[in-house]
Structure 1
Amino acid sequence: MSTALFTFCTLFCLSVAAMPASAQTSGGPLKPFKDDLFSAQTVLSTSDNGSSQVIEYQELRDINGRDEIPEQRVKRQYVDLAPKSLQELETISVGGRSIDVGRVGRASGQAFTVIFIHGRGGDRRLGMKDYTFGGNFNRLKNLAVENGGTYYAPSVKSFDENGVADVAALIADAKAKSGGKPVILACASMGSFICYGISRDAIAAGDLKGMVILGGAVDPDFSKSALIKAKKPVYFTHGSLDKVYSADQQASIFRALLKAGVPTHFTLFQTGTHGTPVRMTDWRAVLNWIFVH
């Protein structure tokens, strides 16, 4: 662990007795789904009335012990394929743009919408996988369907202004089709470039209920964005040993937002690497946190 990250964990967090993370983050409108498998994470430390947490991560347990074939196929008890009946691969045409998406849940009239943006080299298929990433996307699908929501995993053609424009159009379309219900944008790894671009778009940011950054890049101008000025909630998850994007620097952004009065949360997976947040993020806890803020 770097000296800066050690300081973050030691000084920024108050050590507490280890307890399940779900004990602190279970409040909110989404009803439980396999919480015994996904939410029973050990909190090593916490601070700021729960705004920051360090979660225990163990590769031998959380990959080898969880997967039937490590990093390829999770054990069957982690997966429920019921959402398959409401799953489609489709092309949405909106605002003169064509967007290839995977959709799970209602095409309209949904209670809420979650949009997941993949990283470099991915497409809509990544966020639709049931058995990889420890079954975490399958849980997200079930949380959406069981609570009357819709989950979108679009293919992002480029991580520039064109990709941002596509996602802004998808956000607007979801907002309209749901009758103005909440839309949450979640971005992983390089997909965070899309989140940061959306944050600077006053209209798109205004259409969002909140944002999730999973192992994302650092945007030093994030605090100046329309999303942050509107004090929309932002939830960060990151691996402490991420060698692609710095956990230290992301923690600094989090602290700046917290100081500015923005609803924000930082979950650090101790010894986790770049891909850990996609596998380990507790979607029910994250979404419920955004809904109640």
Structure 2
Amino acid sequence: MFLSVGLFASSIVCAEAQVLKPYKDDLFSYGKVLEESEGGDYRVVDYQELRDINERDEIPERRVKRAFVSLGVKGEQVNETLDVGGRSLDVTRVGRERGAAFTVIFIHGRGGDRRLGANDFSFGGNFNRLKNLAVANGGVYYAPSVRSFDAAGAADVAGLVKLAAERSGGRPVVLACASMGSFICWGVSRDAGAVAALGGMMIMGGAADPDFTKSAAYKAKLPMFFSHGSRDSVYPAASQKALYSALKGQGYPARFVLFETGSHGTPVRMTDWRDALNWIGSR
């Protein structure tokens, strides 16, 4: 599809499209799969709050147990303010500034800022794992502070996507958006220049876009990964599942992971970053 996706799949590479090497997989891989179809692209994963929050966290929803984090990666972390299209954008960057093998950008939801995606102990340590995956595999991770969830905010992130691709020498960027941050992903999907720099997109507990088929991302068949909680009361899982099914029915590269009984924040806590990024890299 894009040359950059080929670079992602071949520059880090290993057998069976395992692009990123394992990192604490025993703690972060998906648990029991309750349902699986479409060659593994649709999965319903068992989720239990008592186990996956209360037994995993030292302080539920605030501080994960120490075994889930490796803090040496903080030596690779900096806060910086970037110029994107003449506007300043505050980001936390983890990993190499230039020449990264791949880039991951995480977009927070309403009320958040770059601190959310840089927090090592919240969300079950899942961001700490992402940081370690990025650094261990020669990549870079950005967590920007989005000022607005509208066209201006999407333009800022599209600028960051292009800047990250430029810094890495054209290697691919994966844009992951959670909750209201999904509006940023859908906005970026309309920017052909940003789409050309992307290797894939992730929507985590976000809103569905009924007009996605009109976007530059759709036309380019940009791989789309969705994760959602079945009991999400903010953005119903059924809407996102319907979009996934429509795309899959057209042979579009898409994957959907549903956490059974999970709520709105479950995908940020429970999405297996390595599994998702390896799937995107293999497309």
TM > 0.5:
yes
Distance in structure 2 (CA, Å) of the matches to 1:160 and 1:30: 33
Give, in angstroms, the shift of residue 210 of structure 1: 0.4
Q: Which ranges of structure 2 fall in alignment gaps of 5 or more residues? A: 1-15
Q: Which residue of 2 aligns with 1:63?
A: 53
Superimposed CA distance per residue, residues 90-129 of structure 1 (whole angstroms, 9 cap, x where no aligned partner): 1011321211000000011100000000000000000000
The answer to whether the 8 A contact 1:211-1:233 is kept is yes
Post-superposition, which runs of at least 4 consecutive aligned residues in structure 1 deviate over 6 A? none
Q: Map of 1:12-27 to 2, 5 A cutoff?
A: 27=17
Give, in angstroms, the shift of residue 27 of structure 1: 4.4
Q: Which ranges of structure 1 fall in alignment gaps of 5 or more residues? A: 1-25
**SS of residue in 1 equivalent to 2:252:** coil
The answer to whether the 8 A contact 2:30-2:272 is kept is no
Distance in structure 2 (CA, Å) of the matches to 1:167 and 1:128: 17
User: What amino acid is the match of 1:45?
Assistant: E
Distance in structure 2 (CA, Å) of the matches to 1:116 and 1:240: 22
Higher mean displacement: 277-286 or 90-99 = 90-99
Q: Report whether the alignment pairs 1:36 with 2:50.
A: no
Distance in structure 1 (CA, Å) of the matches to 2:18 and 2:221: 19
Distance in structure 2 (CA, Å) of the matches to 1:219 and 1:110: 31
The answer to whether the 8 A contact 2:30-2:45 is kept is no
Q: Which residue of 2 aligns with 1:160?
A: 150
The answer to whether the 8 A contact 1:97-1:169 is kept is no
Q: TM-score, structure 2 length as denominator? A: 0.93
Distance in structure 2 (CA, Å) of the matches to 1:265 and 1:170: 25
Pairs aligned (count): 268
- Matched-pair identity in %: 65
The answer to whether the 8 A contact 1:88-1:102 is kept is yes
Distance in structure 2 (CA, Å) of the matches to 1:225 and 1:258: 16
Higher mean displacement: 29-38 or 88-97 = 88-97
Give, in angstroms, the shift of residue 28 of structure 1: 1.8
Q: Which residue of 2 aligns with 1:250?
A: 240
State which of 185, 190, 199 in structure 2 corresponds to 1:200.
Answer: 190
User: What amino acid is the match of 1:73?
Assistant: R
Give, in angstroms, the shift of residue 40 of structure 1: 4.5
Q: TM-score, structure 1 length as denominator? A: 0.90
**SS of residue in 1 equivalent to 2:114:** coil
State which of 150, 160, 167 in structure 1 corresponds to 2:140.
Answer: 150
Distance in structure 1 (CA, Å) of the matches to 2:142 and 2:74: 14
**SS of residue in 1 equivalent to 2:227:** strand
**SS of residue in 2 equivalent to 1:110:** coil
Cα RMSD, aligned residues only: 0.9
Q: Which residue of 2 aligns with 1:18?
A: none
**SS of residue in 2 equivalent to 1:125:** helix
